[in-house]
C-alpha cells in the first residue's frame, strides 16, 4: 500500500470477545480498509483468561455458578479496557458451552449488563466461518489451493475447508479438550482404556465431518486455538510460551504424534511444570493433544500422504470476530 493509498484508508477501532468453553479472550484492534476494501488488522490489546465456562456442562446441561462468576469477572476487566482504549464497536461471540446450557439466559443477561452488548450465541457453522476468516487473514490459500482450518476448542472442534474465495464446506463437532477430559480421561495420567475410548469417538467425529467436508481435498492443514498452539510450543521445547515462535510453525505428523503422546502420558504435576503451559490448560491438554494427533494422522491417511504436516496459527476466530465487527 502506498502512502497516498494509506492516507485514504478508513480505520476503525473495534473490540472482539470470544467466549468459549475453556477461555474468554479479548482483542482490541484497529481495522484499516483500503480503497479496494481489503482489511488490515493491527492489534492494540490481545488477552486471554481461562474461565472454564463449560465446567460440567456436558454432564449437567447447565452453566455452573462459579463458572459464571469467573466469566463475569473477566467481562468486567475487558469492559474497563474497552473504555480505556476507546473501541467504537464491540462484538461478543459465545460458542459451544453457552449453546448447550439450559440457563444460558443468565449468562446473556450478565454479559449485557457489563458490556452493553448482547452476546451472540452463534451456531457451529458461523463459528467455523469466523475461524476460517481469522486464519485465512494470514494463511489464505493461493492458486486454487484448499486450506483445512481446524479450530480445536474446549467443547467443540470445527473443520473448515476453503480457498482464496472463502469457505467451501464446514462442520462443527461436539468434541473438545474440556468435554473429552470430563467424558473420558478421568485418571491422572489417563489409562490406556480411557485413551482408546476417547480415540474411538474422535474417529467417529472425524467420520461425521467427512459427510459434509471433503477432507481428502485438503492441500494444507492449519490448526488454531490454545490446544494446538500449546502442542506446538511443546514440540519446539520453548522456554516460555511465545506466540511469535509458534505462529506459522509447520510440524510433521511424527513430531506431532510424539509430542501428543508425551503430553497425554504425563501426570498433572509434570504438565504443570512445563514452562509454556498455561495453568488453565494443565488438566485438559492431554485430551486436546489426543484430538489433534488423531486429526493430523487421519488427514495424512485421507490425502494418501500428500498432507503430512500441519501449521499452527495464532490468528483464529478472535481475528474473524474483529474483522466482522
Q: Is 247 helix (H, G, I), strand (E, B) or coil?
A: coil
Q: Are residues 83 and 224 in the same domain?
A: no
What pTM, to 2 d.p., does this model score?
0.82
Domain end residue (candidates: 107, 122, 137)? 122
Q: Are residues 224 and 308 in the same domain?
A: yes
Q: Are residues 149 and 297 in the same domain?
A: yes
pLDDT in tens, 130-183: 888 888 766 655 567 899 999 999 888 999 999 888 889 999 899 999 999 999
Would residue 304 count as lying in a domain? yes
Whether residue 45 is predicted with pLDDT greater than 50 in this model: the reply is yes
Q: What's the pLDDT at 140?
A: 57
Would residue 325 count as lying in a domain? no
Q: What's the pLDDT at 7?
A: 44
Q: Are residues 69 and 215 in the same domain?
A: no
Q: How confident is the model at residue 3 (pLDDT cuts 50, 70, 90)?
A: very low
Average pLDDT over residues 275-291: 96
CATH of the domain at 257: 3.30.420.150
Q: Are residues 87 and 162 in the same domain?
A: no
Average pLDDT over residues 279-304: 97
pLDDT in tens, 60-115: 989 999 999 999 999 999 999 999 999 999 999 987 677 778 898 999 999 999 99
Q: Are residues 163 and 149 in the same domain?
A: yes
Would residue 88 count as lying in a domain? yes
Q: Are residues 199 and 309 in the same domain?
A: yes
Cell of 240: 516460555
The total number of structural domains that make up the chain: 2
Q: Which of the two residues, 186 and 97, has the higher pLDDT score? A: 186
Would residue 225 count as lying in a domain? yes
Q: Are residues 116 and 149 in the same domain?
A: no
Would residue 98 count as lying in a domain? yes
Q: Are residues 94 and 166 in the same domain?
A: no
Q: Are residues 117 and 147 in the same domain?
A: no
Q: How confident is the model at residue 198 (pLDDT cuts 50, 70, 90)?
A: very high
Would residue 226 count as lying in a domain? yes
Whether residue 6 is predicted with pLDDT greater than 80 in this model: the reply is no
Q: Are residues 146 and 28 in the same domain?
A: no
Would residue 148 count as lying in a domain? yes
Domain end residue (candidates: 90, 122, 154)? 122
Of the candidates 253, 256, 262, the residue with the CA atom closest to the CA atom of residue 232: 256
Average pLDDT over residues 201-218: 97
Domain end residue (candidates: 122, 157, 187)? 122
- In three-state form (DSSP H/G/I as H, E/B as E, the rest C), the secondary structure along the chain is CCHHHHHHCEEEEEEEEEECCCEEEEEEEEEEECCCCCEEEEEEEEEEEECCCCCCHHHHCCCCHHHHHHHHHHHHHHHHHHHHHCCCEEEEEECHHHHHCCCHHHHHHHHHHHHCCCCEECCHHHHHHHHHHHHHHHHCCCCCCCEEEEEECCCCEEEEEEECCEEEEEEEECCCHHHHHHHCCCCCCCCHHHHHHHHHHHHHHHHHHHHHCCHHHCCEEEEECHHHHHHHHHHHCCCCCCHHHHCCCEEEHHHHHHHHHHHHHCCHHHHHCCCCCCHHHCCCHHHHHHHHHHHHHHHHHHCCCCCCEEEEECCCHHHHHHHHC
Whether residue 325 is predicted with pLDDT greater than 50 in this model: the reply is yes
Q: Tell me how far apart the alpha carbons of residues 32 and 277 are, in angstroms, rounded to a whole number.
A: 34
Q: Could you report how far apart the first and last alpha carbons of the chain are, in Å?
A: 23
Of 45-54, 78-87, 186-195, 210-219, give the lowest mean pLDDT range.
45-54
Q: How confident is the model at residue 21 (pLDDT cuts 50, 70, 90)?
A: confident
Q: Are residues 285 and 160 in the same domain?
A: yes
pLDDT in tens, 289-300: 999 999 999 999
CATH of the domain at 49: 3.30.420.40
The answer to whether 292 and 257 have CB atoms below 8 angstroms apart is no
Domain interval for residue 203? 125-320
Amino acid at each position: 500500500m502506498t502512502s497516498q493509498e494509506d492516507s485514504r484508508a478508513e480505520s476503525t477501532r473495534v473490540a472482539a470477545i470470544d467466549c468459549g468453553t475453556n477461555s474468554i479472550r479479548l482483542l482490541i484492534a484497529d481495522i484499516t480498509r483500503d480503497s479496494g476494501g481489503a482489511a488490515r488488522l493491527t492489534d492494540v490489546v490481545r488477552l486471554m483468561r481461562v474461565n472454564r465456562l463449560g465446567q460440567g456442562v456436558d454432564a449437567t446441561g447447565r452453566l455452573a455458578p462459579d463458572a459464571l462468576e469467573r466469566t463475569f469477572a473477566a467481562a468486567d476487566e475487558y469492559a474497563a479496557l474497552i473504555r480505556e482504549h476507546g473501541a467504537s464497536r464491540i462484538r461478543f461471540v459465545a460458542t459451544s458451552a453457552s449453546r448447550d446450557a439450559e440457563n444460558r439466559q443468565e449468562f446473556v443477561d450478565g454479559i449485557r449488563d457489563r458490556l452493553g452488548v448482547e452476546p451472540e450465541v452463534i451456531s457451529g457453522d458461523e463459528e467455523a466461518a469466523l475461524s476460517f476468516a481469522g486464519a485465512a487473514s494470514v494463511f489464505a490459500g493461493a492458486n486454487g489451493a484448499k486450506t483445512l482450518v481446524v479450530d480445536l476448542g474446549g467443547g467443540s472442534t470445527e473443520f473448515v475447508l476453503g480457498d482464496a474465495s472463502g469457505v467451501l464446506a464446514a462442520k462443527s463437532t461436539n468434541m473438545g479438550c474440556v468435554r473429552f477430559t470430563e467424558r473420558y480421561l478421568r485418571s491422572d495420567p489417563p489409562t490406556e482404556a480411557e485413551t482408546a475410548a476417547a480415540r474411538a469417538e474422535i474417529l467417529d467425529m472425524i467420520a461425521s465431518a467427512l459427510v459434509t467436508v471433503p477432507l481428502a481435498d485438503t492441500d494444507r492443514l492449519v490448526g488454531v486455538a490454545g490446544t494446538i498452539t500449546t502442542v506446538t510450543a511443546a514440540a519446539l521445547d520453548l522456554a516460555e510460551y511465545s506466540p511469535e515462535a509458534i505462529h506459522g510453525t509447520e510440524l510433521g505428523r511424527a513430531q506431532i504424534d510424539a509430542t501428543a503422546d508425551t503430553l497425554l502420558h504425563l501426570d498433572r504435576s509434570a504438565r504443570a511444570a512445563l514452562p509454556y503451559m498455561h495453568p488453565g490448560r494443565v488438566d485438559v491438554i492431554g485430551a486436546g493433544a489426543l484430538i489433534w494427533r488423531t486429526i493430523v494422522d487421519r488427514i495424512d491417511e485421507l490425502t494418501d500422504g500428500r498432507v503430512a504436516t500441519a501449521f499452527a496459527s495464532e490468528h483464529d476466530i478472535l481475528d474473524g470476530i474483529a474483522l466482522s465487527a
